[in-house]
Every structure is written in C-alpha cells, then in structure tokens.
Structure 1
C-alpha cells in the first residue's frame, strides 16, 4: 500500500511542486485546497504522464477554522504524513496574518494529534522571515539558533506558528525555513523578471546586500526528505542553495541567460518609502494588497539574508542541485513556454 500524504496549500506555487514530486516518488497524495482555489495546474497532475492512467492524487477541501472538521478529514484519509504549506504572504493586518499562518496551523496540528491516524511526520513550511535578516557586518550566516528578529508581520506570524506547533505535545514536527523561493509558476519574483524583460533594472537605495535564494525543486526535495525523519525532538532547517549573492546577482544572471540589455538605476529610498505608503493608502479600499508596500519594503531593503544549510546537509542529506544561474535558466524557459514573458 502506498504511503499517503496530506499536502495543504496544494494549489499554490510551492504546494503544486510538492504534489508533483510526491507523486513522482510513488506516494498517494491528497491535495488540500480552498473551494475557491484555481486548480488549473493541479488538474494537469491528475494523470500519470508515462502511463496515461489516473495518478494517485485526490483533491480535498479543508476548513482550517474548525479542528473538528479537520480531525474528521484526517481520519477519513488515514494519513501517514502531513505537509502544511498553506498560508498567506499578503495581508493588510497582523491579525489577518496570525489567523491564517499561526491559528490555522495550530488547528491542523491539534487535529492531527487527536485524530486516529498513523502519523509519522508533520512538516511545516515556515520561512526565513520568521528569523529575520541580520546586519551586513555579520560574517556568520543565519543559523537555526539565530535569535529571531522578524521585521514584518508576515515573519512574525510564521514565528508565532512555529512556537504554537512546538508546544503541541507529541507532534512529530519538522520546521522548514526556506529563503526566497523561485521557479516555474512563481508570481512575486516574476514581477521583477517582467521588469527586467522590459529593460529596467531598478534598486532601492545604494547600500550593499547579501541575498539568498532557493530553487523550488531543491526546496521540495528537502521537504520530502524531512518526512523520513524519525526523531522525537522538533527539528528545524534553514533552506537555500547554499550561496550568498550580492544585490545585483539576480539581474546579472538574467542578462546572461536572456541576452537582453537593461538599464540599471538606483531609486532614493525615501522616494520608494513614500510610494509604498501611498500604495498602502490606495489599496486600503481594496481587497487586494499591492506588490510593494511598507511591510514588503522592510524585507526588500534588509541588508543580509545569507543563511547556513549545514543542518539540512547533515541531517536531511540535502544537496542543492541548482545554483541561481541553473535555476533561473529553467525558470525563464518555463515563463517563455507558458507565455508569461
């Protein structure tokens, strides 16, 4: 019998790739989505591309606001593993972030512990934002034991979720903290690629930065490896491609791959802060959140996001297969094939 995994946030960028690779490993996947989720990409996984037969994929709707409903859903599925990748990255208030990212995560974990299921591992997709950046002068990278100092409400909500889950007695928990994730289907960094494709390479201020990235396939490989951990203690892993990049690296790799010429400019930080504040005011009357806002600006202008992946290398046998250039080449190819660029 195939091992059954419950993956939340399955219709999202990372969730889709988790489902795809889990199916590729021969697992039976139950993909949890909202009733309003766009299932375009998930539906493409409904058939095995090699045999043409239905894949071991079932799409289910989950109500994360109800522990009882979650318990019933988990018991009906009899899951061996849970990967909790659902969450929000754009909200208007700290309370909205905390509700979805922290409270709903706690509901799922408590439901899992009260349900009659053969649960071996609960993997939570957190974020390096839960720890926050460090100063540029720091020579040592961010580690799993770095004192948390999140700079955004999003990061604080992810840290709160970690703390909630760590307090759930008996939960076989692994926390994965990825840095900036990119790859086929990603929409946030895509805005930057679209700007570069249009010939503009813009930066906020002139201060140097150390940045880190991880290609989605590497992140998913590390996450699926965590399922096989057999430890009673909570484990935590920072995930990147193992490199630290300067602030120009992403644009430089883009130019190398695309062959396009772009105009590089540096915008005064005071001007961008004013613009972010203005967008916050404008979007306060909308259900949507702007790509640039005062919260996001704190992460974009942070000086050092370099992190160590030694723990993941040692315990998960994580070996990144993509550096920024390799991952970006594959990503840009996907954007072109799907007519995003």
Structure 2
C-alpha cells in the first residue's frame, strides 16, 4: 500500500490503534470502507506491517513529524490514545491533555481534514475523583479550546468490554468460577458498552452530519444502567448454567490502604500503577449510569449487543436463549 489518500476512499487518522478499543475500531473502519492511517508507538523489535486498508505510522503524540504524516490527506481524526495508569497527575496529563492539543493542532494544519472525534471517558463527568478523570476532562476542554474550524465531538463511553479486553476479563473469569469480587459496598449503578457497539457508534458519527462541539455519553441501551444483582444474574445464566455466583465484597478501607501503598511503591520504583487512591474513588463511585439517546438522535446509531450476548462473546461462549 502506498498513499491511502489516492485510493478514493475516505481516510481516517487513528491514534491508539493498537489498544483494545483502537484494534476493534481499526477493523470496523476498514470493513466500513474507510482507509486508516494508524499511529503506533515504536520500540525495539516492533515493526508493524501495512495491511489492506491500513498504513502504520511510527511515532508518539509529541512527535510533530509523525503526527503530520498521520493526518496527511486524512478526512477525519479519531483520537483513541490515552493513559489509564500513573502515579502522578503529570503521568496522565501529558497524554490525556497535552496529547489532545498536539493531535488537534496537527489536524488543523492539514487542509484536507475537517472532522475530529475524541474518545474520552465517562470518568470525565466526575473530574474531582482522580487524576485520570481530571485529565480526561482537561482533554475535552483542550479539544474545545484548540479545535478551531474543525467539526468535533467527544464521546464518553462507560466501562467497555469485549474480546481482547484485559481489565474486565479477570472479573468475568472469576464470575465463571462462581465468585464476584466487588469493590466497596456493591450498591452503585453503572452502564456498560460492548467494544463492537462503541466501534459502530464511531463509524456512525463519521457518517453523520452532527453539529460541532457536542459531548455524548454512550451505553448499551439498558435503561437506568445495571446493578450488581442484574449483572450476576446474567452471568449466572451465561457462564454457569444458572449456578449461583457469590459476592466477595472488598471493603473500601482495605482498597484505600492497598492503593496508597501501591502508589508510594510506584513512585519509588518508577512503574505505572493501576490501583491508586483515585482509582478506588472511581471504583466505589455510586453513579456511573449514562444515557446514549442524545447520540442516537444525532446520528441514528443504536446499540446491538446486550450484556448477556456480549459476555458470552467475550469468554467465547454461545448464548442460545
């Protein structure tokens, strides 16, 4: 493959293209007839070969030359890249805020590019909870401040799951064994979305004629979100032939103690932790319910994958009812 822009098909510049969401989206875009320029982070021994419909661009979000190559001839940018691990606020801000500014500026400098979609997070709705949620909120504000004449939108998906996900898979596997470790009191409500539905929503936005400057929440269409009783009941049917799943509540004080020690150790030894005090506040927040109807009205998109079907697909099972 040489110049994707010469193919006659719309070209999408995609960041985060090797991640869980980015991989599903890359495949969906190609299947939908788009050509994808995909940014990936180079490291020793890592060379990604171009494939039909995909041209790989090596570089980071702070690499101006790589970003210019990424957006060259692109009709739109979909920015999926983000950082979910860190011991300090700066660990998140350098990617989730500054990275947005860098890729938006590159898009504005490419005369052919007119649209920009930021894949944010529902966490941005509660920026006070954690360094991560604040950084996603700052990324949305950075997009609004620097987008100029670009037609832009930000998507706030809730917890995303599906084949290839590493974050929720351990929970689902534990449920299949009959135990559900649940952070805090287990009294909160939350929305979910399957990665395939998220990818189809992004394609719907690219094909739509929505107004610029909108922020949308997305979900799988389950009104009012889920509680743990509903999730465990569904998991029992799908994974255990209706055998019960026992709750294992992990007290919030214990989570805080572990998270505090983890953050201190991460700062000393220089690794990027997942469980931090901020992450505990996210996990135990009572309301992560969202409503995707505004996005449906704007684009015509509707979710197709409910939790039972999505759970079965994630673990390689088949729902027959």
**TM-score bracket for the superposition, by shorter chain length:** 0.7 to 0.9
Q: Is the 8 A contact 1:11 1:39 kept in 2?
A: no
Q: Is the 8 A contact 2:210 2:299 kept in 1?
A: no
For 1:14, what is the secondary structure of its paired residue?
Answer: helix
Task: Specify every segment of 5 or more residues in structure 1 that has no aligned partner in the other structure, as ranges.
Answer: 47-53, 133-148, 335-341
CA distance in structure 2 between the aligned counterparts of 1:65 and 1:330, rounded to whole angstroms = 36
CA distance in structure 1 between the aligned counterparts of 2:69 and 2:82, rounded to whole angstroms = 21
- Deviation, 1:231, is 4.5
- Deviation, 1:72, is 4.6
For 1:285, what is the secondary structure of its paired residue?
Answer: helix
Partner of 2:193: 214
- 1:250-261 paired onto structure 2 within 5 Å: 250-259=231-240, 261=244
Partner of 2:219: 240
CA distance in structure 1 between the aligned counterparts of 2:27 and 2:142, rounded to whole angstroms = 29
Deviations 1:143-194 (A, max 9, x none): xxxxxx4411111111111111111211211111101000000111112123
Aligned length: 306
Q: Quickly say closer, same or farther: Cα 1:185–1:224, change in 2 above 3 A.
A: same
Partner of 1:204: 183
Q: TM-score, normalised by structure 1?
A: 0.83
Q: Is the 8 A contact 2:256 2:280 kept in 1?
A: yes
Partner of 1:142: none
Q: Is the 8 A contact 1:67 1:110 kept in 2?
A: no
Partner of 2:4: none
Partner of 1:99: 94
CA distance in structure 1 between the aligned counterparts of 2:55 and 2:170, rounded to whole angstroms = 32
CA distance in structure 2 between the aligned counterparts of 1:296 and 1:249, rounded to whole angstroms = 24
Q: Is the 8 A contact 2:39 2:59 kept in 1?
A: yes
For 2:208, what is the secondary structure of its paired residue?
Answer: coil
Partner of 2:258: 275
- Deviation, 1:270, is 1.6
- Deviation, 1:37, is 9.6
CA distance in structure 1 between the aligned counterparts of 2:45 and 2:143, rounded to whole angstroms = 28
Q: Is the 8 A contact 2:171 2:181 kept in 1?
A: no
Find 1:83's aligned residue among 60, 78, 89.
Answer: 78
Partner of 1:63: 60
Partner of 1:74: 71
Tell me whether 1:30 sits opposite 2:37 in the alignment. yes
Task: Please identify runs of 4+ aligned residues in structure 1 that moved more than 6 A.
Answer: 37-40
Find 1:113's aligned residue among 102, 108, 127.
Answer: 108
Q: TM-score, normalised by structure 2?
A: 0.87
Task: Specify every segment of 5 or more residues in structure 2 that has no aligned partner in the other structure, as ranges.
Answer: 1-7
- Deviation, 1:111, is 1.3
